[in-house]
Amino acid sequence: MKKIAILGSTGSIGTQTVDILPSIEAEVVALTTNRRIGLLEEQARALHPKMVCAFDENAAKELRVKLADTDIEVLTGMDGLIACASESGADIVVTAVVGMVGLLPTLAAIDAGKDIALANKETLVCAGDIVMRRARECGAEIVPVDSEHSAIFQCLTGREGELHKILLTGSGGPFRGWTREQTRDVTPEMAVRHPNWSMGAKISVDSATMMNKGLEFIEAMHLFGVTPDDIQVLIHPESVVHSMVELLDGTVIAQLGVPDMGLPIQYALTYPERKPSRSDRLDFTAYPGGLHFYAPDLEALPCLALAMQCARTGGTAPTVMNAANEVAVHLFLDHKIGYHSIYESVAAAVDAITPAAA
């Protein structure tokens, strides 16, 4: 039975990971949250992990009281996250925290020889060279959870040396087809409403600005060892083709399925095996209007263009971009800056800092 640590178990990916546990044979050894201790307590009582962590210190104090009648160790802060990643006895660590706070626990898990089911894309965007090098050195397998990267991973399995190009698909988010001017007054409430996927607030805003596709562009470079020229972004509004690979001879292989994160999460946890899932099945007759693909309008989507530019610059350019984006998205969600200020402040940060080698 695989032993699993779930970092960020109270979030969108974390709760969906907990939901698919009955479909796989697994024992949960660690769970973490930032502040949502009510849900963490429920999860801990149901799953009996060895240790849990509430990143926020006050939340951890409260959680310790709540779990006083159990023998579950309650930790806090970065040390707590790192312990859950590396000392809980996990075979595989699901990195489902949001933001670059996931970097150090992911590195600790890799150093401890754990495999990684990687949802936390910011980790690869801000330090992909370091993380992938460390994983190679430690023999840790990184299996992507992000649906596009899971698709590419599945398409490439057994095809060493055959890849010509990655076709990275994206729905285009809630403002697909809007001009830049039309998005000026977008509010956080509008931005977090995604047509096809239900996700945490930060990635929902990233999906609206299409920074998410830019982060995924950089994530794909690191995961699959390719250059920016090897990746083409395609808008695909139906979110049925989760991404494709074009092979050396022009053959294209795609991975398709319903838009349900349960599928890539389960595959990352059962890999290299595949198990039955409770997910809905894809019904091709439900798409009488067909499946559509087109190139993104980079002028209307400056965050995507900026991320692709940072990918080409390399070094710490993506790190700076990611950090600025995390701050800007939080300010936007708190109604402190407008929607267009997200791009403007991230671009200003990238302009202000001379990138160093990674």
| Cα–Cα dist 118/108, whole Å | 14
* Least gap, CB of 130 to ligand NDP (angstroms): 17
Which residue number is nearest to ligand NDP in terms of Cβ? 11
Which of Mg ion, ligand NDP, none lies near 35, with the C-beta cut-off 5 to 8 A by kind?
A: ligand NDP
The verdict on 55 binding ligand NDP (CB under 6 A) reads: yes
Out of Mg ion, ligand NDP, none, what residue 219 binds, judged by CB under 5 to 8 A for its kind, is: none
**176 is in the binding site of which of Mg ion, ligand NDP, none (Cβ under 5 to 8 A by kind)?**
none
- For the chain, helix, strand, coil in percent to 5 are 50, 15, 35
Q: How far is the CB of 149 from Mg ion (least distance, A)?
A: 7
Segment contacting ligand NDP by CB under 6 A, of 152-160, 171-179, 200-208, 348-356: 200-208
Q: For the sheet with 115-118, list strands across it.
A: 73-76, 51-54, 26-33, 2-7, 92-95, 115-118, 142-144
Closer residue to ligand NDP (CB): 151 or 231: 151
* CB half-sphere exposure, 165, CA atoms < 13 A: 13
Specify the residue for token string 């009582």.
Answer: 45
Ramachandran assignment for 177, one of left (phi > 0), alpha (psi -120 to 50 degrees), beta (any other): left
Q: Say whether residue 146 binds Mg ion (CB under 5 A).
A: yes
Residues in the chain: 358
Q: On the CB side of 5, how many CA atoms lie within 13 Å of its CA?
A: 32
Q: Which of 197, 226, 228, 341 binds ligand NDP (CB under 6 A)?
A: 197
Please report which helix (H) or strand (E) contains residue 81, including its range. Answer: helix 77-86
Contacts of ligand NDP in 240-299 (CB under 6 A):
261
63, 98, 300, 301: which one binds ligand NDP (CB under 6 A): 98
By the rule CB under 6 A, 12 interacts with ligand NDP: yes
Contact between residue 121 and residue 219 where contact means Cβ atoms under 8 Å apart? yes
Q: Looking at 73, 87, 115, 122, which residue binds ligand NDP (CB under 6 A)?
A: 122
122 binds Mg ion (CB under 5 A): no
- Please select the residue that binds ligand NDP; options are 18, 24, 85, 101, rule is CB under 6 A: 101
| Closest approach of ligand NDP to the CB of residue 34, in Å | 3
Nearest to 220 by CA among 254, 197, 244: 244
Partner interacting with residue 87 (select from Mg ion, ligand NDP, none; CB below 5-8 Å by kind): none
